[in-house]
Amino acid sequence: MIARSVVPRALVQCPLSSEPQQPYEDDIHLAATAVGAILLPLPFVVLLGLLALRAALLPIVQHRYRETVTPLRPVHVGMVEMVVATCVVGLAFVSPI
């Protein structure tokens, strides 16, 4: 007899990822983003929106490029992360909290 793996009902499978997520993990991130959007100055809110958009689109772009001749490599994602980090530091100097 083959033993079957039983996944607890509390874990939810993400459609683009093979890693299980907690059911309310996204709600906590959404609440933290909303609080940041209310409390932070406008330039940081704009950057927060751009970061949220990038985070939402990255799995979709990775999925689309996975089967092409030029897949999205980790170095490309890393370069985008370096640009984002530089923008965050630069914004901290231009518009301090």
| Three-state DSSP state, 12 | strand
Indicate if the pLDDT at residue 37 is higher than 70: yes
Q: Is residue 6 part of a domain?
A: no
Residue-wise pLDDT tens digits, 58-92:
889 888 888 888 888 888 888 988 998 899 899 98
| Dist CA 29 CA 26 (whole Å) | 5
Q: Is residue 5 part of a domain?
A: no
Q: What is the pLDDT, as a whole number, of residue 24?
A: 65
Indicate if the pLDDT at residue 23 is higher than 70: no
Q: What is the pLDDT, as a whole number, of residue 10?
A: 47
pLDDT-above-90 percentage for the chain? 7
Number of domains in the chain: 1
Q: Is residue 2 part of a domain?
A: no
What predicted TM-score, i.e. pTM, was given to this entire model?
Answer: 0.61
| Dist CA 61 CA 72 (whole Å) | 8
> 44 vs 2, 24, 37, 65, CA distance in Å?
54, 26, 8, 30
Number of H helices, E strands in the chain: 3, 2
Residues spanned by the domain of 90: 12-94
